[in-house]
Structure 1
Amino acid sequence: MVYLTDGGVLMGTGNLPAAGACCVAVELMSDVQYVKCSPYGMIVLKADGTVWCAGRLCDGDGNVIREYDGFEQVMDHAVYADAGESTMAVIRSDGSLWMWGDNSSQQCGVDSHVAENFTEPTQVRENVRMVWLDRLAFYDEQEYQGYLSVASAPTDMDTYHTFRTYVLQDDGQVYACGQEGTFVKVTVVEG
């Protein structure tokens, strides 16, 4: 389990990447703006725009794509970072989208004939305002600020699509990639 304090301190307890097993909460990192866990690791966005990863990034079958030695800085100039089931994504301050991880179903937005896995962040799109990995769902308006003006109904929380990446472009268009292809334009209907 990990959590952020009001002061931006990342705390954690349990069997943690980069910290080992502990029964009490320990400080993992300070000046943290956002953290997201995947099944085997985590991605951290610090207030200075740097992105750090810990643990492992595995494909859909559990095979290790990338293993991090403690917390490793992977990018800078970031405004958003996300971890999915088997992919990770970063939006940089210039609006570029960078992804890495399992691309076997084109979920990184690149034809899987080019590469089935990306061990390093790879730029896949420009002019991106927001990215959602694995699902497009809203728990509350704070989770995905700037997309919905009002929180979705609790029944919408079950919306989930495996091996999908959704992006909201600066022009308001939504694109998705995954089993249906690489970044096709989609229409999002609020239920």
Structure 2
Amino acid sequence: MTTTGDTSTMDVARKAFANRRDSFVVYIQELSTGDPLGQDVGAIQYQLRRIAHSLSTWTDYQGDPNQAPCPCFADRCAKLAEVVIEVADRVTIQDEQIPVMTMKMFNMLAIQLGRLTLDGHREEDVYALGFDRMAREEDRRWEIKSQGPDDGRAALLFGLWTRLNRIAEPDPSCTCDLGVSACSGQSLIGC
């Protein structure tokens, strides 16, 4: 392939990835408002499973067609897919509303999914950088809340947030073109 072809292929792959990611984030953010969007539980679970399936197929995405996909990115996609399925299994609707706890789970998923990027830790993916800032704000909120009383729901949500944040941690054995030092520089989900 020529350099022009590689650049074009990379741009197309990044744009297709970003469009899908962004549409998934928007859908999950809408659910996080409590509105089931006219869907029943089964329809929401179906859509979430479609998102999880897409995440599992993203393990082959790559930023550079001349490089093998980064194993960090594949691992993160697979782990996010697992969490999406777990949240899908918890979906309920009460009085035509999604319960507050599930809304919070959707918000956490949207933040973490929004952090996923093909551009690794480069400043090119402004959308992912915005969600990375949101994740840091959520971390601060949990640091403050962790000292208050807990009825079990907070512990479940904190556990989910902690697991989602571990997904964003760089793999110490990363071999992507950015290298381990670049991966440990920021917490965006991708290499």
Structure 1-normalised TM-score?
A: 0.25
Structure scoring higher RCO (CA < 8 A, sep ≥ 6) equals 2
Structure 2-normalised TM-score?
A: 0.25
Higher share in strand: 1
Structure whose alpha-carbon radius of gyration is higher: 2
